[in-house]
Amino acid sequence: MPSRTVQPANGPLRGHIHVPGDKSISHRALMLGAMAVGETVIEGLLEGEDVLATAAAMRAMGATIERRGATWHVWGVGVGGLLQPATALDMGNSGTSTRLLMGLVASHPITATFVGDTSLSQRPMGRVIEPLSLMGTDFTASPSGRLPLMVRGLCPAVPIEYRLPVASAQVKSAVLLAGLNTPGITRVIEPVATRDHSERMLAGFGAEVWREGDVISIRGEAELKPQRITVPGDPSSAAFATVAALIVPGSEVTIANVGMNPTRAGLYDVLRSMGASIAFGQQRSVGGEPVADLVVSASTLTAVKTDPTIVASMVDEFPVLFVAAAFARGRSVFRGLEELRVKESDRIAVMAAALRAIGARVEELPDGLAIEGTGGEPLPGGGTIATHLDHRIAMSLAVAALNCRAGVALDDDAPVATSYPRFFADIGALHTA
């Protein structure tokens, strides 16, 4: 368990960085490439542990996946062609891999066992088990619907119309992926729009998928055609350098090639409402996804009260937004965040404890946090943070340390490799630029 102490910045952060490829898009590119017939080429794939777990699982079910220089090449088995894996599929810490692959397996005549690390094994899978069971899939899960679990797919599966009880792109995607190999039309009704990478990419690969109001439909037994995909920079990863530049006085940082899909960009809207100086340059489309270069300058932030309807567009960015609020002027209140309690950790409780450990004034609410900001002044720092195997907790507190009076110790920095392997190197480069 490698610990790390992050020291305060010794001056403004300056320079340009490229964040890793979007994690959500990387997962889906590998999965759909494996479901196409022919060779899919992927540029900019995130090579973090979560995505590599997806690649290993697709290989175990018959796809050929190779890295050649800067590109990844996937030779797929076609829709309906997944093979019985010889051993359990080890998902590591990746909830996205697990839930989406459960959907793929659900409509194939194979049985797959999913296992994961300690953190993933504590996360509930019932929200995916419920709709897939309605399609005829059989599950044997650990108590409370957790890993390890066994999925026995059904082919042909039964098309369903399913209303999401909570806004979840992972559940939506699992049902749509199950619908790929299911005769007829499978429909998902989502009460609040969630990230739409699955729909965009399914359409790009040639599936018949469409939206009418809040209903997303897919026609099954599709033939997917191989693609050349360029993965934009991950907006969730870009969030850390963004907040770092905002809270360290005198900073100006450019973050290149960041995906700005409107279903993912809620954080940037909230930060700008707090007074953040964030300019969007070179706006363009890459692989059907909007992309921009972000120019972020240190700013005087003011407190905010977020509308719960924005949660779906920035659910992974709340930990680092809490850090921004800790340095804002006034009391920020964040509600409607129940989903954060079932992430890699209970991100509400863990962030409350972590921020208190470095001197922030925080009140934990049943569904969120209230944070009294410093008005831009440094926090005391000096605390030791229990990261609970959560990459976003580790990175968020590393960002907070940059505007503390004393260094902040992370009990374990290894989880950062799941999504942003070069995070500490990138932040360090901004110190010396």
Q: Model confidence over 318-343: pLDDT tens digits? A: 999 999 999 999 999 999 999 898 78
Q: For this structure, is 426 an active site residue?
A: no
Q: Which residue has the tokens 């739409």?
A: 196
Q: Tell me what the mean pLDDT of segment 195-216 comes to.
A: 95
Q: Tell me what the mean pLDDT of segment 251-271 comes to.
A: 95
Same structural domain, 191 and 272: no
Give the model's pLDDT for residue 1. 62
Same structural domain, 353 and 245: yes
pTM recorded for the entire structure: 0.86
Percent of the chain with pLDDT over 90: 89
User: pLDDT tier at 286 (50, 70, 90 boundaries)?
Assistant: confident
d(CA 365, CA 273): 23
Give the model's pLDDT for residue 433. 56
User: pLDDT tier at 51 (50, 70, 90 boundaries)?
Assistant: very high
Q: Tell me what the mean pLDDT of segment 389-399 comes to.
A: 95
Give the model's pLDDT for residue 302. 98
Q: Which one, of 295, 293, 297, lies nearest residue 256 by Cα?
A: 293
d(CA 167, CA 285): 26
User: pLDDT tier at 190 (50, 70, 90 boundaries)?
Assistant: very high
Last residue of a domain, one of 183, 218, 253: 218
Give the model's pLDDT for residue 189. 98
User: pLDDT tier at 216 (50, 70, 90 boundaries)?
Assistant: very high
Percent of the chain with pLDDT over 70: 99
Give the model's pLDDT for residue 290. 92
Same structural domain, 242 and 318: yes
Domain total of the chain: 2
Give the model's pLDDT for residue 432. 64
What average pLDDT does the chain have? 95
d(CA 387, CA 215): 38
What is the domain range of residue 80?
A: 23-218
Last residue of a domain, one of 178, 194, 218: 218
Same structural domain, 310 and 245: yes
Same structural domain, 197 and 247: no
> At a CB cut-off of 8 Å and minimum separation 6, what does 408 contact?
5, 6, 358, 381, 382, 383, 384, 385, 397, 398, 400, 401
Same structural domain, 171 and 278: no
Q: Is residue 223 part of a domain?
A: no
Q: Kindly name the residue from 196, 234, 316, 413 that is annotated as catalytic.
A: 316
Q: Tell me what the mean pLDDT of segment 185-211 comes to.
A: 94
d(CA 286, CA 259): 9
Last residue of a domain, one of 165, 188, 218: 218
Same structural domain, 251 and 180: no
